[in-house]
Structure 1
Amino acid sequence: MAKRTNALDRVLRGAGGPGVLDVLAERLSGSDLTTLLLEVMRRRAGSLTPADVLRRYGHDRFAAPAAIPFRDLRRAEDAALSALPAAFEPVVLSPVAPLGTCSVPATVDQNKVVSTIRNGEVAADPTNALALEAALRRRAAGGAEPVRLAAVQRVVRAQHVEGAARFAHFTLFALVTAGRDTGDLAFERQHAAEHLAVLADAVRACGAGEPEMRVTVLDERYERVAAGLGGTPDPGRRSGRGYYTGLCFKVYAGGAEVGDGGFTDWTARLLGNHKERLLVSALGLDRLAMTT
C-alpha cells in the first residue's frame, strides 16, 4: 500500500497536484470522464508504431496466450459442462462487466480488476456477473423459486502472482444459485449439497480423479449445513473470511486446489432484501487441465 501511495503522490505532483485526482474521481460525471479518457487513449495510440505494439505484446502478461494447450483446455470445458444438471442454465457472459461488479457487492480491491475507461471492467470472476444476472431475474420473477445459472468464462486478474498454475488470465467454470430464505436453513442445506455434487462430478469428468471437499464453517448456525455435506472440516482456512458468509469450501484434485465457493450476501445487497440468499462456486479449468 505504501509503495502504491508513493507512486500516486509522484504522479499527482507531476500532473499539477492532488486536486487533479479530485476532479477526475469526483467532479467529472461518468460520461465526461469517459470522453476525456477516450481522447487520452486515442492520442496515446496515435503515437505508437507497429514495433511498439509488438514489443508490448511480447512483454504484457495480460496479452500473452494461455500456457495451457487449447485442446486440453477445451476438453476440460466440455467435460465440466457435461456434468451440469438440467436445472442450471448456462449463460454466455460478456467479457466486460459494469465498473464495481467485483468490488462493490464483494470485498475485492478494485486494483485487482482491470478497469476500463468506459465505466466498466474486464471480466475477473463469472460468479459476480452471474450474481447480477440472477438478481435481475429474481427481481423480475419474485417468489421463492431459485435461479440456477452457470458459465464458462476466461477472466483476467490484475494482481501479480508467482508460482505454478498461477496465471494472469484463466478459465473458470462457475455456478450460482439465488433464492429466498425458506427457513430452517433449508435453502442452504439443499443448494450447498447440490453445488458440491456438481463440482465433484465436473472434476471426475475432467479425469482429475476423486476430488476432496474441504468445508469451513464461518457461523456456528451453519454446522448443520456442513454436517450434511460430508466434506473434510477445514476450520483453519484463512482466505475467504469476510468475503463469504456462513460457510465456504475449497475443492482439491490431485493435491492441488482447483475450486472454491460459499454463501455471499451479494443479491441481498443488490436487491435490498435481507431474505435473499446466494451461493456461488467455481472451478479453475486451467488447473484441472494440468492435472490430467
Structure 2
Amino acid sequence: MGDDSTALRRVLRQAGGPEILDVLAERLSGADLTTLLLEVMRVRARALAPADVLRRYTSDRFVGPSVVPFERLRRAEDAVLSVVPAEFELVTLSPVAPLGAHSTPATVDQNKVISTIRNTEVAADPTNALALEAAVRRRDSAGPVRLAALQRVVRAQHFAGAYPHFGLFALVSADRDTGNLAFERRHLAEHLRLLTDAVRACGSAEPEVRLTVLDPRFAPVTAGLDTTDDPGRESGRGYYSGLCFKIYADGVEVGDGGFVDWTARLLGNRKERLLISALGMDRLS
C-alpha cells in the first residue's frame, strides 16, 4: 500500500479491504476515477443542510478569511509590484495546478497540498506553476524566460504560527547553461536585487540575505554579493541544488529561493537551468 498508518488501514477495512486502494489508484483510468469521485461528492453535498455548510465554514481552517487586513496586504502587493523590472513578465496564475505539480518535480509530499478529484491540486507554491510555464516557453523558444506572479496559496501541513493560506510573490528565471556558471551569476544577482528592493519598498530599512552554498562548485557565484554566509542551514537541502538563500526583514524570515532542476526534468534536458524565489506577502504587510 505504501502507507502503514492506522487511519488508512481502518478506512480500507471499512471499504472492503486493501485491494480497494489498488482498484482506485491503478486499475481505474483517470477519467473513470474522476467520474466516480464526482458522484461521491455530489451525493455527499446533496445530504448537507445550510447549517452544515456554515458549521464547516467556522471550523475548517482552510476556508476562513485571512487574518491580515486587506488594506495592509494590498499596500504590500502594490509596493512589491512597483519595483518589478520590465524584464520580468507578470503572469496571472490559475488557482489550481495539474496533479503532481508540487510533488513530481520537487521533493514535496503530496499530503502537503490539497488534491482535487479532477486530477488537479490547489496551488501551494507559485514557483511550481511558473516553472511549468517557463518549461513550455523554453521548449518553444531559445531565449531566457523571466516570470513573476502574485498568488494566494494553500498548504495542508499544520504547524504553530503558520497561516493555512497566504500570499506569495514569486520569481522564476529559466535558460540554458552556457558554462562558467554564467546563468547562476546573472540571475541570482537579478533575483536578490529585485527581492531586496521589494522588501525595502514594503518598509524594511535593510533586508538581510543569507546564502547557503550546497555545492562547493557554486561558491564563485556569491562573489561580489552583499550577503551573509549561512552554512548551517538545514531546510531546503535536497529541495534546492547548488545554492539557496533566505531573506530577512527586521529579523523575520520573509523570503526564500535557490536553484532547482525542475525545468531540466520537465524537458528532459540536463542543460536547462532554473532559479526560483518568493517573498511572503502576509509577513511583509
Same fold (TM over 0.5): yes
Cα deviation per residue 1:140-188 (whole Å; 9 max; x = unaligned)?
11x2x2100000000000001112xx20000000000000001100000
- One of 225, 228, 232 as aligned partner of 1:232: 228
What does residue range 71-82 of structure 1 map to in structure 2 within 5 Å? 71-82=71-82
* Structure 2 residue identity aligned to 1:32: D
Spell out structure 1 runs of 4+ moving beyond 2 A: 227-230
What does residue range 180-259 of structure 1 map to in structure 2 within 5 Å? 180-259=176-255
- One of 131, 137, 156 as aligned partner of 1:158: 156
Between the aligned partners of 1:228 and 1:183, the Cα distance in structure 2 is: 19
Aligned residue number for residue 31 of structure 2: 31
Cα deviation per residue 1:69-107 (whole Å; 9 max; x = unaligned)?
000000011111111111000000000000000000000
Cα deviation for residue 257 of structure 1 reads 0.3
* Structure 1 residue identity aligned to 2:110: Q
1:3–1:160 CA distance, 2 compared to 1 (3 A): farther
> Conserved in 2, the CA contact under 8 Å of 1:214 and 1:250?
yes
* Structure 2 residue identity aligned to 1:286: D
CA RMSD across the alignment:
1.1
> Is 1:49–2:45 an aligned residue pair?
no
Between the aligned partners of 1:277 and 1:3, the Cα distance in structure 2 is: 34
> Conserved in 2, the CA contact under 8 Å of 1:180 and 1:275?
yes
What does residue range 1-292 of structure 1 map to in structure 2 within 5 Å? 5-141=5-141, 143=142, 145-163=143-161, 166-289=162-285
* Secondary structure in structure 2 of the residue aligned to 1:245: coil
Between the aligned partners of 2:183 and 2:117, the Cα distance in structure 1 is: 39
- Structure 2: unaligned runs, 5 residues or longer: none
> Conserved in 2, the CA contact under 8 Å of 1:192 and 1:229?
no
Between the aligned partners of 2:209 and 2:253, the Cα distance in structure 1 is: 10
Cα deviation for residue 210 of structure 1 reads 1.1
- Structure 1: unaligned runs, 5 residues or longer: none
Identity of aligned residues (%): 73
Give the TM-score normalised by structure 1: 0.96
* Secondary structure in structure 2 of the residue aligned to 1:208: coil
> Conserved in 2, the CA contact under 8 Å of 1:189 and 1:228?
no
Between the aligned partners of 2:4 and 2:278, the Cα distance in structure 1 is: 31
Between the aligned partners of 2:25 and 2:275, the Cα distance in structure 1 is: 33
* Secondary structure in structure 2 of the residue aligned to 1:160: coil
Cα deviation per residue 1:117-159 (whole Å; 9 max; x = unaligned)?
0000000000000000000000011x2x210000000000000
Between the aligned partners of 2:18 and 2:135, the Cα distance in structure 1 is: 38
Give the TM-score normalised by structure 2: 0.98
Cα deviation for residue 3 of structure 1 reads 9.8
**Count of residue pairs brought into register by the alignment:** 284
Between the aligned partners of 1:3 and 1:180, the Cα distance in structure 2 is: 39
> Conserved in 2, the CA contact under 8 Å of 1:193 and 1:228?
no
Between the aligned partners of 1:268 and 1:63, the Cα distance in structure 2 is: 35
